[in-house]
């Protein structure tokens, strides 16, 4: 374990923003993590996982602790289910592929989501009708206040749409070190109704898909719509889809009858922020070296060496414009640092 100084974080965030970490350490061993967290010389730590859900707008003064713990263990197993313990530093999509190779089902719809296992519970990653919470059992995390290991159950985590206790009450208080997930071995519970999955499977001439085929369909859809962070810097959806009350939605629908919507409950309706942003004229807009992705308006992109602060200014402009045109507030999904 070695603390380095003045390290560029460009390759550690999927937006590809070139800011510096004043102090940086990459952690591969659990004991090193405990040691580093107790270092008095660096009272403030900045925990970095896959860097896939953040916009860095300035150099980081705190000690950046890059969580690189690896490993997958079987906790319990019977004929129908397996519960796996996966260490935080494992790459999410590589883990999905590993599960598919073992024919473990439950996360095939979450194929190709960037980032690591350890950050998945923080925002309860989700796509195509499935969320992490659907397979989540518990996670282990170090409580930074006491430097002790805690186990948090699913209900402790209070998952919501792109939300958990780690984004609210316990923000910055825990370092997640591993996550336990319960997956199916047979009789997989398939979700193909959402979005374009069914039509993609039809194009592939598949009537009774396997979990591997569903993953292939999801990968194809995502590759068509979403920019690959290895080619164009981005953090996936920059904003959350807003959830409106029925009254607010009805008012909006009077002015915009064609607005797509997804009922959540009797009195709440989710609307696609991508639609609002496109309607407001931002889709595909480019400002020097950054802009709004041309195929999915919910994604902001860094084409070369954009500054995080410039992308943030664009995000604020989009939020203000959406508020003015639609009277709807859209919140960022990405953490602004
Ligand atoms: N839409 C537009 N223009 C756009 C984008 C979307 O009009 O530029 C409208 C269309 O009506 C489309 C609808 O929005 O049918 C939904 O679009 P899409 O299926 O692409 O999904 P999304 O709501 O924009 C969410 C997630 C994505 C996830 C997809 C698929 C959020 C914030 N985003 O996007 O997650 O992959 O659904 O399930 O909930 C991410 O979190 O980084 C992410 C990519």
pLDDT in tens, 138-156: 999 999 988 899 999 999 9
Report if residue 213 sits inside a domain. Answer: no
Measured from the CA of 240, which atom of ligand 1 is nearest?
A: 32
Q: Is the CB of 293 under 6 A from ligand 1?
A: no
**What does the mean pLDDT of the chain come to?**
95
Same-domain check for residues 60 and 81: no
Q: Is the CB of 114 under 6 A from ligand 1?
A: no
Residue 242 has what pLDDT? 97
Domain final position from 67, 95, 116: 67
Crossing angle (nearest 10°) for helices 92-101 and 211-225: 150
Nearest CA to ligand 1 atom 22: 272
Instruction: Ligand 1 pocket test: pick from 232, 257, 275 the residue with the most ligand atoms within 8 Å of its Cβ.
Output: 275
Query: If we measure between CA atoms, which residue out of 116, 172, 167 comes closest to residue 144?
Result: 172
Measured from the CA of 123, which atom of ligand 1 is nearest?
A: 41
Number of domains in the chain: 3
Report if residue 209 sits inside a domain. Answer: no
Sort residue 162 into left (φ over 0), alpha (ψ -120 to 50) or beta. left
CATH of the domain at 301: 3.90.78.10
Q: Pick out the chain residues at pLDDT < 50.
A: none
Nearest CA to ligand 1 atom 24: 274
Report if residue 308 sits inside a domain. Answer: yes
- CA-to-CA distance for 121 and 285, rounded, in angstroms? 32
Q: Is the CB of 132 under 6 A from ligand 1?
A: no
Find the catalytic residue in 88, 111, 164, 237. Answer: 237
Report if residue 62 sits inside a domain. Answer: yes
Same-domain check for residues 46 and 78: no
Report if residue 217 sits inside a domain. Answer: no
145 among known catalytic residues: no
Domain final position from 16, 33, 67: 67
Span from the CA of 20 to the centroid of ligand 1 (angstroms): 32
The pLDDT tens digits of the residues spanning 114-123 come to 999 999 999 9
Three-state secondary-structure class, residue 63: strand
Domain final position from 51, 67, 83: 67
182 among known catalytic residues: no
Q: Is the CB of 257 under 6 A from ligand 1?
A: no
Same-domain check for residues 76 and 13: no
Report if residue 36 sits inside a domain. Answer: yes
Same-domain check for residues 88 and 154: yes
Same-domain check for residues 60 and 143: no
333 among known catalytic residues: yes
Report if residue 321 sits inside a domain. Answer: yes
Q: Using alpha carbons only, what angle is made at residue 158 by residues 152 and 163, rounded to the nearest 5 degrees?
A: 115
Find the catalytic residue in 162, 170, 178, 235. Answer: 162
Cβ atoms of 3 and 57 within 8 Å: the answer is no
Residue 194 has what pLDDT? 83
Measured from the CA of 196, which atom of ligand 1 is nearest?
A: 19
Q: Is the CB of 297 under 6 A from ligand 1?
A: yes
Q: Is the CB of 43 under 6 A from ligand 1?
A: no
The boundaries of the domain holding residue 324 are 233-336
Residue 195 has what pLDDT? 73
> What's phi and psi for 332, nearest 5 deg?
-75, 145
Report if residue 194 sits inside a domain. Answer: no
Same-domain check for residues 298 and 261: yes
């Amino acid at each position: 374990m070695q603390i380095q100084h003045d390290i560029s974080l460009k390759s550690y965030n999927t937006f590809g923003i070139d800011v510096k970490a004043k102090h940086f350490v990459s952690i591969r061993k659990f004991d090193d993590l405990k040691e580093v967290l107790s270092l008095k010389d660096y009272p403030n730590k900045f925990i970095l996982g896959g860097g896939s859900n953040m916009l860095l707008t300035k150099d980081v003064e705190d000690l950046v602790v890059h969580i690189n713990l690896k490993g997958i263990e079987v906790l319990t197993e019977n004929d129908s289910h397996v519960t796996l313990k996966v260490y935080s530093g494992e790459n999410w999509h590589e883990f999905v592929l590993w599960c598919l190779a073992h024919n473990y089902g439950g996360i095939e719809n979450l194929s190709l989501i960037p980032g690591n296992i350890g950050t998945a519970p923080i925002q309860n990653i989700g796509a195509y009708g499935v969320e992490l919470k659907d397979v989540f059992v518990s996670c282990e995390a170090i409580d930074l206040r006491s430097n002790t290991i805690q186990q948090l159950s699913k209900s402790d985590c209070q998952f919501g749409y792109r939300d958990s206790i780690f984004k609210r009450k316990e923000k910055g208080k825990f370092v997640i070190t591993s996550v336990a997930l319960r997956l199916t071995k047979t009789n997989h519970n398939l979700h193909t109704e959402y979005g374009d999955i069914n039509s993609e499977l039809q194009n592939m001439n598949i009537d009774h898909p396997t979990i591997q085929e569903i993953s292939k369909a999801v990968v194809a859809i995502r590759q068509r719509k979403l920019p690959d962070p290895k080619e164009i810097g981005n953090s996936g959806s920059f904003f959350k889809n807003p959830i409106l009350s029925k009254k607010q939605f009805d008012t909006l629908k009077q002015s915009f009858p064609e607005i797509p919507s997804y009922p959540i409950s009797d009195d709440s309706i989710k609307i696609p922020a991508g639609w609002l942003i496109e309607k407001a004229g931002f889709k595909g807009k480019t400002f020097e070296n950054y802009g709004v992705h041309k195929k999915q308006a919910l994604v902001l992109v860094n084409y070369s060496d954009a500054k995080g602060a410039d992308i943030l200014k664009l995000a604020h402009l989009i939020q203000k414009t959406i508020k003015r045109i639609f009277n709807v507030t859209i919140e960022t999904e990405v953490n602004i640092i």
